Amino acid sequence: MSPDARNAWFRTLGQLALVLVAGLGIGLLIGQPWPALTVAALGVVAWHYWKLRHVLLRLTARQRLQPPQGVGVWNELDRLLFRSQSEMRARKRRLLSMLRAYRAAAAALPDAVVVVERNNQRVLWFNEAATPLLGLHFPQHQDASIVTTLQPLPMASWLAAGRNAEPMTDVASPVNPDLRLNLRLIPYSDELWLLVARDVTRTMRLEHMRRDFVANVSHELRTPLTVVHGYLEMLDPADNPDWAPMLAEMQRQSQRMTQLVEDLLTLSRLEARETLPEEHVAMAPMLSTLRREAEALSQGKHRITVGDEAGVDLWGSNKELHSAFSNLVANAVRYTPAGGEIAVRFAVDAGGGATLSVRDSGYGIPAAHLPRITERFYRVSTSRSRESGGTGLGLAIVKHVLGLHGARLEIASEVGKGSTFACRFNPDRVHARESHPIAATSP
Ligand code: ADP
């Protein structure tokens, strides 16, 4: 108890004692001590009840309390109530101003922010940017279904994926097809989800310009390179034996440039595509082709094995998958010293998917390089890569092709022991093969 409250308490006890003593004194004077004491006690009780009623009335009226004056336990109670009411009001004001500041910040964001109720998929709140980007208007779309409001975006299936929903990238805005958006779903509580839409029109335009520029430059370089290459081929080193080493180097470099241009064109073509043809990719002939290519590149310097254990085929693009797989096989041959081993294996996974893996016993890749190895022109050892005739674009092409097939590239490698590049396909890319699997091995 605070000193003030203790003082008020003792003062009230003193008053009570005073009233009772006064009552008893008057009673003794008139010769009726007990009835007089009872009347005094009843008076005290009545006064306290009256004060209690007063407090209750003021609390139920929810009116603002006045700062109390006076002493005594009831005034002390009034003072405490007044203090807690003032504190509560100050806290409420602080919270309200914080809430307003948050709302103002969210409203001013250039990204569209929509709070969605998870269970009934209704719009609870949205900021100003949601109007130009997603076409949400206040108050029509407050409480509206997000699925119907944002048609034709596939919101139903996206929301159904919940926490596993992958961000939607580069999709057209439902109100303006010229606007390109990136959408993200952030489940920030059990009941409420945040949908964030970002305008990426400018970024996408720049990306298209970059892609077109690379494609155009590569295309323009193709013809002069073919001409230079053609004339170099026509020059006979026997005419001038001194020039022979120079001619050979020029031919090698023009060959490399031609390959570079071809790879750049392949990458641009892949980047411009959103989907690929859904063809039946027969894996038995694909594996035989890979083996032939590996043997041609290796020229008998490696032990090459090809295992077809899956007994299934894939859905996808024959041409692009072949280009990806043969890039991996070519790398395995190029980055494995003579006498090494190269194993290509196609097998089904436990989950129903399928994996094509290319394992070699070559130089291996230090772990620090693995995260960046699929970037264009990223090389572990520039000199070794140049010697091997690589362009630095092979793995970037592989990654793109696999991405278009919804597959992923897994790389495991140990320096000095070798590397394994595994292309993992989801079950929806796999389908049964009519003929029986063959196990093909070359000596
Ligand atoms: P490149 O045309 O230079 O081979 P890639 O994109 O195919 O370009 O590969 C990038 C780099 O990854 C290569 O320069 C090489 O250092 C490394 N690499 C790729 N495959 C292997 C492999 N099987 N063994 C060791 N290193 C590899």
Is residue 314 exposed (0-12), middle (13-18) or buried (19+ Cβ within 10 Å)? buried
Protein residues with CB under 6 Å of any ligand 1 atom: 331-332, 335, 360, 362-365, 373, 379-381, 385, 390-396, 419
Residue whose CB lies within 8 A of the most ligand 1 atoms, among 297, 331, 417, for a mutation test:
331
Please answer whether residues 312 and 352 qualify as being in contact, where contact means their C-beta atoms are separated by less than 8 angstroms.
no
Q: Walk me through the domains of the chain, giving residue ranges and CATH numbers.
A: 3-101 (no CATH), 109-199 (3.30.450.20), 203-271 (1.10.287), 279-432 (3.30.565.10)
Residue whose CB lies within 8 A of the most ligand 1 atoms, among 336, 373, 384, 419, for a mutation test:
373
Q: Which structure tokens are listed for 172? A: 């057209």
Higher pLDDT, 248 or 2: 248
Q: Which structure tokens are listed for 202? A: 């400018």
E-strand ranges in 87-156 read 112-117, 123-126
Nearest CA to 427 among 324, 320, 284, 312?
312
Residue 191 confidence (pLDDT) above 90: no
Cross-strand pairs, 356:
346, 423
Degrees to nearest 5, angle at CA 416 with 412 and 420? 25
- CA-CA-CA-CA dihedral for 356, 360, 364, 365, to nearest 10: -20
Alpha carbon nearest to ligand 1 atom 4, residue: 390
pLDDT (tens digit, 9 = 90+) per residue, 47-99? 999 989 988 888 887 777 777 777 788 888 888 888 888 999 999 999 999 99
CA of 331 to the centre of ligand 1 (A): 6
Please give the single-letter amino acid code of residue 111.
D
Is residue 114 exposed (0-12), middle (13-18) or buried (19+ Cβ within 10 Å)? buried
Could you identify the atom of ligand 1 that is nearest to the CA of residue 379?
A: 14
CA distances from 409 to 1, 345, 373, 420 (A): 71, 15, 11, 10
pLDDT (tens digit, 9 = 90+) per residue, 19-54? 999 999 999 999 999 999 999 999 999 999 998 998
Residue whose CB lies within 8 A of the most ligand 1 atoms, among 361, 376, 379, for a mutation test:
379
Degrees to nearest 5, angle at CA 242 with 238 and 247? 70
pLDDT (tens digit, 9 = 90+) per residue, 92-143? 999 999 999 988 888 888 999 999 988 888 999 999 999 999 999 988 888 8
Alpha carbon nearest to ligand 1 atom 25, residue: 364
Would you place residue 239 in the very low, low, confident or very high pLDDT band (cuts 50, 70, 90)? confident
Alpha carbon nearest to ligand 1 atom 13, residue: 379
Please answer whether residues 391 and 259 qualify as being in contact, where contact means their C-beta atoms are separated by less than 8 angstroms.
yes
Would you place residue 382 in the very low, low, confident or very high pLDDT band (cuts 50, 70, 90)? low
Q: Is the pTM of this model over 0.85?
A: no
